[in-house]
Amino acid sequence: MRRLLISLHLVIFPLLLIGCESPADDDGGDVEAVSITDNGTHYAVTLDYASGLSPREMGEAYGAAILEAAPNFEADLDAYIAYLSLQFDYDEGMRRVGELKDQIPADYREEIEGLGAAMSADADVPGDGLLSPNEVYALNLLSDIRRTCQCSGLGVYGSASDEGGPLVARLLDWDGGGLLSRFHAVVTIRKDVGSVCLIGYLGHLGAITAVDDDGVFAGVLDSPTGRPYEVEGRRSYVLDLRYALETCDNLDDVAAHLADGSRDYCYNHNILLADTDGVAVLENNFSGWGDNMHRALRYDDSALNAGVEWNHDDATAVVNSFVLKGNHDNHTDAPWNTVRWQYFSQAIDDNGPTIDRLELKSIATGDVYNPGNCQHLTVFEPQTLELEVMFKPVGGGGGVFETITPDF
């Protein structure tokens, strides 16, 4: 195990931390702003704002720490961008990045700017083995500039949970190009109020899969409607989701933030949410051809579109489609959605009437699990903050569950 600590009073910004003591350090030493530990399957990262750094400075320190901990970071992620550019025009991606920048919350924009400044390239050139600031933006805005995933999830609570409270599982199926699995990361951003743990990748500062210190869980899922892409005036939903997790203490408020009509996004999407009271899905459907498209939470007993059945109390499933009554129907004619939906329904019947952690893990590693494409599989229990993650191994194949302790 390789452990790297960026101790900023020794490395960067020497005057900022004078007299700033870590509350966890009985010897009165300075707070370490950035900590990176290589755990083999993933990097454990802590960004601690008790250090006194500004978001820009935190981004710069994080970038420097990444390059020290993962010397191939720039070369491999530039190769990933070049790989994606074979499927999606690079220049168009950079144009979309330029449109989205100004709509990113200011603190996150500063973090990304700082991270980009720590990289080596000034010009945007795919395949040069280096990363430019704009390419760092692109990696952070991947969910907003191109479609990336086919994901799924299931949560149980109340009468369906054998654990005494909600339990949720989520599969992230992204095209990693054989490169992303080298940089799995669990990134805890520690603040006095509103700490959050991001399960994603080194250098990614948005919420792909995330939990906060109040026990709120969130995982994003693509849900395409076929409408033309629009970027002008749009925001990043993975960065807005991080903000909601940092400022809200329950799934309803997180959903309300993302569903607010004042916030427009490039892509329709779902967000699987859980807290200590239950599990629900935000169907963020704002464009398409539904009879009554709306951005709303779906519960176990919500009215669904014709032909869609869900007959399970206190259990909620999600795939890459909308099913709320009136929303765009990208479900019934999409076998990749209906088959997984039916699988979850049958699995609840087969494992019920209550489902425990082991059974939920068994369901999540069943027919919906694709070891070739599943970047991570997360199981979370909000009431205990118990988090388990199975990371896609670098060499391919299936992984093993690891217990992760968020460093709140």
Q: Is the pLDDT of residue 25 over 50?
A: no
- 62 lies in the same domain as 79: no
Among 34-43, 142-151, 376-385, 389-398, the range scoring the smallest mean pLDDT is 142-151
* The residue type at 1: M
- 228 lies in the same domain as 296: yes
Residue 66 to residue 70: CA distance in whole angstroms:
6
Tens of pLDDT, residues 34-88: 999 999 999 999 999 999 999 999 999 999 999 999 999 999 999 999 999 988 9
Q: Is the pLDDT of residue 7 over 70?
A: no
Full-model pTM: 0.93
Residue 105 to residue 240: CA distance in whole angstroms:
8
- 133 lies in the same domain as 282: no
What is the pLDDT, as a whole number, of residue 396? 82
β-pairing, 374-381 vs 315-318, is unpaired
What is the pLDDT, as a whole number, of residue 152? 98
The verdict on residue 152 lying in a domain is yes
Residue 164 to residue 368: CA distance in whole angstroms:
26
The verdict on residue 197 lying in a domain is no
Considering only CA atoms, which of 171, 151, 150 is closest in space to residue 360? 171
* The residue type at 318: V
Mean pLDDT, range 296-312, rounded to an integer: 98
Domain limits for position 39: 2-69
117, 140, 163: which is the final residue of a domain? 140
Residue 393 to residue 280: CA distance in whole angstroms:
30
25, 47, 69: which is the final residue of a domain? 69
The verdict on residue 188 lying in a domain is no
- 165 lies in the same domain as 117: no
Considering only CA atoms, which of 9, 119, 13, 111 is closest in space to residue 55? 111
Tens of pLDDT, residues 101-111: 999 999 999 99
Tens of pLDDT, residues 113-133: 999 999 999 999 999 999 999
3-state class of 218 per DSSP? Answer: strand
- 298 lies in the same domain as 385: yes
- 336 lies in the same domain as 244: yes
- 293 lies in the same domain as 225: yes
For the chain, how many helices (H) and strands (E)? Answer: 10, 16
- 63 lies in the same domain as 119: no
What is the pLDDT, as a whole number, of residue 148? 64
Considering only CA atoms, which of 66, 3, 9 is closest in space to residue 40? 3
The verdict on residue 211 lying in a domain is no
The verdict on residue 331 lying in a domain is yes
140, 166, 196: which is the final residue of a domain? 140
Mean pLDDT, range 366-390, rounded to an integer: 96
Angle of helix 133-140 relative to helix 73-85, nearest 10 degrees? 70
- 79 lies in the same domain as 99: yes
Using a 10 angstrom Cβ sphere, with 0-12 exposed, 13-18 middle and 19 or more buried, the burial of residue 177 is middle
- 336 lies in the same domain as 266: yes
The verdict on residue 297 lying in a domain is yes
- 227 lies in the same domain as 339: yes
The verdict on residue 13 lying in a domain is yes
User: Which CATH number fits the domain that encloses residue 153?
Assistant: 3.60.60.10
What is the pLDDT, as a whole number, of residue 242? 98
Mean model confidence pLDDT for the chain: 92
Tens of pLDDT, residues 347-363: 999 999 999 999 999 99
- 162 lies in the same domain as 254: yes
The DSSP code sequence of 213-250 is: TTS-EEEEEE----PPP--TT-B-HHHHHHHHHHH-SS
**Count of domains in the chain?**
3
The verdict on residue 348 lying in a domain is yes
Mean pLDDT, range 228-247, rounded to an integer: 97
Q: Is the pLDDT of residue 27 over 80?
A: no
